């Protein structure tokens, strides 16, 4: 299971010379049409878009998921390989220096026939938020704290994966067993049966679904598995909310860029991807999660891709646990 810290990602600073070369033609870039990026679920930080435009002269427009055409798409790493065949165009390996990235990131890039179809750029991570007037963890919070009978909420998949990571940390599951099971249906059946047996008796007080900020703010939840932005939203509204990465490591979704197969070629697409890999050593938090410092994020668990059979098994376990 790849783990990496923001310190290790600084190795990607080697990208700077290439980016400077690709972005040097300011006068030509200024005459180009805007670079259109289709973004759904997450979007590149606005300060990054502004910095790219200032450096290259190329304007960037964000388009919704149903846009008819785009030069680039924002795609999470766990679905890049699940796109329908022919939906994405590969960039020849070597066109962008992925080898300069931290090994974990380079390994997540999705090769297809020698080409790379997904280029890493950012991440969003789940942490544990709590209302200090209802409950405060001792030290770093654990995923198990969410299953301890208190009113808590979160996404069903993240809650179950967090429970599995807790079982690994306690020795009830072998280290790495949960992520490895995503590629082995027989192993997945055994691992998820163990997770379901642990979770089912503890699920009565849990509420699944969105709205963590509102639940924390209104007091419907004393704790939540959510992103830093939602915790900050509740805190800005006056709720006494704390937030930290789980002791077992944060579950992260890695976001990156892919080129739609039918997109007209735009000279700024490769320059933009190179620029985004250069920033902050190759990755940045796309959720505004400044509450998670480098030390707290020493261990990230990139959300694994699911086969249809594994997704069906996981949904069946969620129905069994949450009803």
> Could you give the CA distance from residue 192 to residue 160 in angstroms, rounded to a whole number?
9
In whole angstroms, how far apart are CA 184 and each of 82, 158, 242, 252?
A: 17, 20, 38, 21
CA dist., res. 106 & res. 280, Å (int): 16
Q: What is the pLDDT of residues 270-282, one digit of tens each?
A: 888 888 876 544 4
User: How would you class 176 by CB atoms within 10 Å of its CB: exposed for 0-12, middle for 13-18, buried for 19 or more?
Assistant: exposed
- Of 21-30, 58-67, 101-110, 213-222, the range with the highest mean pLDDT is 213-222
Q: Which domains does the chain have, with CATH numbers?
A: 6-123+251-294 (3.40.190.10), 124-249+302-322 (3.40.190.10)
Q: What is the pLDDT of residue 12?
A: 31
In the DSSP assignment, the letter for residue 90 is: P
DSSP single-letter state for residue 139: S
Whether pLDDT at 321 is above 50: yes
Indicate whether 163 pLDDT > 90.
yes
DSSP single-letter state for residue 34: P
Task: Give the model's confidence band at 4: pLDDT under 50 very low, under 70 low, under 90 confident, else very high.
Answer: very low
Phi first, then psi: what are they for 200, rounded to 5°? Answer: -55, -45
How far is CA 188 from its chain centroid?
22
Gap between the Cα atoms of 275 and 284, Å rounded: 12
Interatomic CA distance for residues 221 and 212, integer angstroms? 8
- Please say if the pLDDT value at position 300 is more than 70: yes
pLDDT tens-digit map of 100-135: 665 666 666 656 666 778 887 777 788 899 999 999
Tell me the per-residue pLDDT of 58-70, one tens digit each, with 9 for 90 and over: 999 998 877 778 8
pLDDT reading at 235 higher than 70: yes
Q: What angle do CA 172, 144, 186 make, to 5 degrees?
A: 40
Residue 194 has pLDDT above 80, yes or no: yes
Condensed to tens digits (0 to 9), the pLDDT of residues 31-67 reads 568 999 988 767 787 888 898 899 899 999 998 877 7
Q: What is the mean pLDDT of residues 219-236?
A: 89
Q: What is the pLDDT of residue 230?
A: 86
In whole angstroms, give the CA distance from residue 25 to residue 128: 45
Vertex 136 angle, CA 231 and 228, to 5°: 15
Taking the C-alpha atoms of residue 321 and residue 262, their distance in angstroms, rounded to an integer, is: 42
User: Which of the residue ranges 72-76, 147-151, 301-305 would you say has the lowest mean pLDDT?
Assistant: 301-305
268 and 19 Cβ atoms separated by less than 8 Å:
no
d(CA 321, CA 62) in angstroms, rounded, equals: 39
Q: How far apart are the first and last CA of the chain?
A: 31
- For residues 65, 287, 141, 201, the Cα torsion angle rounded to the nearest 10 degrees is -10
């Amino acid at each position: 299971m790849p783990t990496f810290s923001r310190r290790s990602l600084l190795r990607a600073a080697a990208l700077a010379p290439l980016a400077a070369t690709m972005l040097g033609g300011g006068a030509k870039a200024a005459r180009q049409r805007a670079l259109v990026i289709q973004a759904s679920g997450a979007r590149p930080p606005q300060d990054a878009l502004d910095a790219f435009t200032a450096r290259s002269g190329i304007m960037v427009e964000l388009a919704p998921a149903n846009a008819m055409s785009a030069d680039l798409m924002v795609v999470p790493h766990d679905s890049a390989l699940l796109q329908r065949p022919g939906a994405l165009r590969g960039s020849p390996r070597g066109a962008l220096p992925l080898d300069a990235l931290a090994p974990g990131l380079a390994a997540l890039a999705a090769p297809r026939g020698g080409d790379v179809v997904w280029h890493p750029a950012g991440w969003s991570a789940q942490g544990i938020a709590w209302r200090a007037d209802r409950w405060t963890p001792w030290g770093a919070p654990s995923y198990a704290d969410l299953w301890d009978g208190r009113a808590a909420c979160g996404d069903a998949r993240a809650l179950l994966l967090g429970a599995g990571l807790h079982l690994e940390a306690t020795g009830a599951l072998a280290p790495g067993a949960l992520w490895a099971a995503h590629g082995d249906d027989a192993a997945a059946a055994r691992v998820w049966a163990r997770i379901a047996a642990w979770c089912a008796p503890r699920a009565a007080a849990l509420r699944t679904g969105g709205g963590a900020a509102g639940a924390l703010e209104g007091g419907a939840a004393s704790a939540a598995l959510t992103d830093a932005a939602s915790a900050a939203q509740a805190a800005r509204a006056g709720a006494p909310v704390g937030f930290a990465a789980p002791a077992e490591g944060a579950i992260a979704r890695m976001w990156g860029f892919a080129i739609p197969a039918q997109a007209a070629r735009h000279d700024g697409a490769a320059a933009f991807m190179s620029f985004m890999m250069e920033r902050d050593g190759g990755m940045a938090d796309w959720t505004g999660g400044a509450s998670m410092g480098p030390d707290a994020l020493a261990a990230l668990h990139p959300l694994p891709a699911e086969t249809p059979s594994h997704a069906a098994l996981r949904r069946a376990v969620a129905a069994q646990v949450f009803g």
